[in-house]
Amino acid sequence: MNLYQPYLVRIEDMIDETFDTRTVKLAFEDSSAAEKFSFKAGQFGEYSVFGHGECTFCIASPPTRKGYIEASFKAVGKVTSAMRRLNVGDTMGFRGPYGNCFPLDEMKGKNIVFIAGGIGLAPVRCVIWNTLDLRDQFKNVTIIYGARSVADLVYKRELEEWSKRSDVRLHQCVDPGGETADWKGEVCFVPTLVEKVAPSPEDAYAIVCGPPIMITYTLPQLDKLGFAPDRVYTTLENRMKCGVGKCGRCNVGPVYVCKDGPVFTAAQLKSLPPEY
């Protein structure tokens, strides 16, 4: 099969998370492809709208749920705008899964701290559900999530569900000025919430994903709390195009984000050129 040949996937469902962010649920048209397809939490794919091109997103649904994948996206360019115009029942393309993954096997039996900002919750949500679908294999699950405003929080129905679970500790915040009269979470930035919650590094791994500025200020907080840099994971997106190590567009210094990543430890990030 041609390396760039996509699977055909049908939009089975779509949910508008915010005014500009949409989640699509994609089912494989070929039932044997649906059966065979598997991936690991943290991997990504190339999504195509025929006649418009491809765009790169993580797979936002967990590998523990078979037969479909989900992707959450903002309409920010030509392809994502075309994707935004598609409807339930329409067919598009998907190729993948690509890249490395979060080391879920290594994390088994440990405490997991998830930290996300804005739409950065998409790749983290994949790991959260993966963990919750195998709940008895992990210790404490803590989720720290924030967005610019209440309206910008994604996966609101799932945040609600997690907030009610006794086996999940969920802490939420919105930036100052982004709160509403009935907002019950904190009003601060994500790194400040990490400092307030102060998750223990004892027997723990942290997974962090969000805008670069959030990552920049969150990693030193985790450092201060005592998290070892090789137990803190994040995922990068970097101008990916081919997804398979051929086009050379995604390199950061000597590293190809599509092949060597997109998942990196904080220790690895420190060795990359300063803009990362």
Question: Which spans of this chain sit near ligand FES (rule: CB under 6 A)?
Answer: 240-243, 245-250, 256, 258
Comparing CB distances to ligand FES, the nearer of 178 and 245 is: 245
In the complex, what is the shortest distance from the CB of residue 53 to ligand FES, in angstroms, rounded to a whole number?
Answer: 14
Q: Would you say 98 or 233 has its CB closer to ligand FES?
A: 98
Omega before residue 97 within 30° of 0, cis: yes
Find the shortest distance in angstroms from Cβ 64 to ligand FES.
27
State the burial class of residue 244 (Cβ atoms within 10 Å of its Cβ: 0-12, 13-18, 19+). Answer: middle
What is the smallest separation between the CB atom of 67 and ligand FES, expressed in angstroms?
A: 27
Q: At what angle do helices 212-225 and 190-197 cross, to 10 degrees?
A: 20
Instruction: Round to whole Å and give the CA distance between 225 and 204.
Output: 11
Could you identify the residue written with the tokens 């990362």?
Answer: 276
Shortest distance in whole angstroms from residue 45 CB to ligand FES: 12
Cβ proximity of 206 and 227 under 8 Å: yes
Burial string for 8-30 (b: 16+ CB within 10 Å, else e) reads bbebeebeebbeebbbbbbebee
- Residue 26 CB, shortest distance to ligand FES, in Å, is 21
Using a 10 angstrom Cβ sphere, with 0-12 exposed, 13-18 middle and 19 or more buried, the burial of residue 38 is exposed
Nearer to ligand FES, 42 or 243 (CB): 243
Pick between residue 66 and residue 249 the one whose CB is nearest to ligand FES.
249
Which lies closer to ligand FES via its Cβ, residue 247 or residue 269?
247
**Nearest approach, Cβ of 174 to ligand FES (angstroms)?**
34
Dist CA 57 CA 94 (whole Å): 10
Q: Which residues pair with 9 in a beta bridge?
A: 28, 92
Closest distance between ligand FES and the C-beta of residue 52, in Å? 18
Tokens at 247, concatenated: 């086009």
Answer for the pair 47, 54: CB distance below 8 angstroms, yes or no: yes
**What is the nearest approach in angstroms of ligand FES to the Cβ of residue 49?**
18
Judged by beta carbon, residue 147 or residue 255, the one nearer ligand FES is 255
Kindly tell me which of 214 and 242 has the beta carbon lying closer to ligand FES: 242
- Looking at the Cβ atoms of 191 and 261, the one nearer to ligand FES is 261
- Residue entry with tokens 């223990």: 200
Of 209, 194, 199, 201, residue with least CA distance to 263:
209
